[in-house]
Amino acid sequence: MKKISVLFVCLGNICRSPAAEAIFINLLEKKKLTNDFIIDSAGTGSWHIGKKADSRMIIAAARRDINILSRARQISIKDFEEFQYILAMDDSNYRNLLDLKNNISSADSASIKKIQNFRSVFYEEEVPDPYFGGDEGFDHVLDILEDSVSGFLESIS
C-alpha cells in the first residue's frame, strides 16, 4: 500500500505549518495510522531555514501534549512531485504554491488546497499568523488547526 503524503505550508515554517504537522502526527498516532503517511511542513519563505519552531508555538502545543519537532525548510520543486496533498495556511501562500506548481511540468500529482477548506467549527477562512501577536494568538491558531486538520484527515479516510 502506497503511503499518503501530506505537506503543510505557511510563510516561514516556524508557527502554523509545523503546528499543523505536529497536530496531524498526533491524530495519526491516536488512530494508529502513522505508518500509512509521510508528513512534513515547509515555508514559502527562506529566512528561517534550519530553525526550530517559534518557542511560543512549541510551548502552546506542549500544553496540549503535542510535540513540535520539525525544523524550518523552504518548499522545493521536488515537493510538488513527492507530496499528494499540499495544504496552505492562507490565501497568499496558496497563490504562491499555485504559481510554483504551474511552472513545474511534472507537478500534476500534487493537490494544493487551503487547510481551512476542511474546517467545521471555526469561521476563519485563513489560519492567522500569530508571529507578531501575543501568546493567546498561538492558542487560537492551535484551536483552528485542530479543527481543520481533523477535517482533512476525515476527508481522506
Could you list the active site residues? 10, 16, 129
Cell of 115: 487547510
Where residue 4 falls (left for φ over 0; alpha for ψ -120 to 50; beta otherwise) is: beta
Angle made by CA atoms 15, 44, 62, in degrees to the nearest 5? 15
**Nearby residues of 149 by Cβ (< 8 Å), 6 or more positions away:** 20, 23, 24, 27, 115, 118
Asked if residue 88 lies in contact with residue 97, where contact means CB atoms within 8 angstroms, the answer is: yes
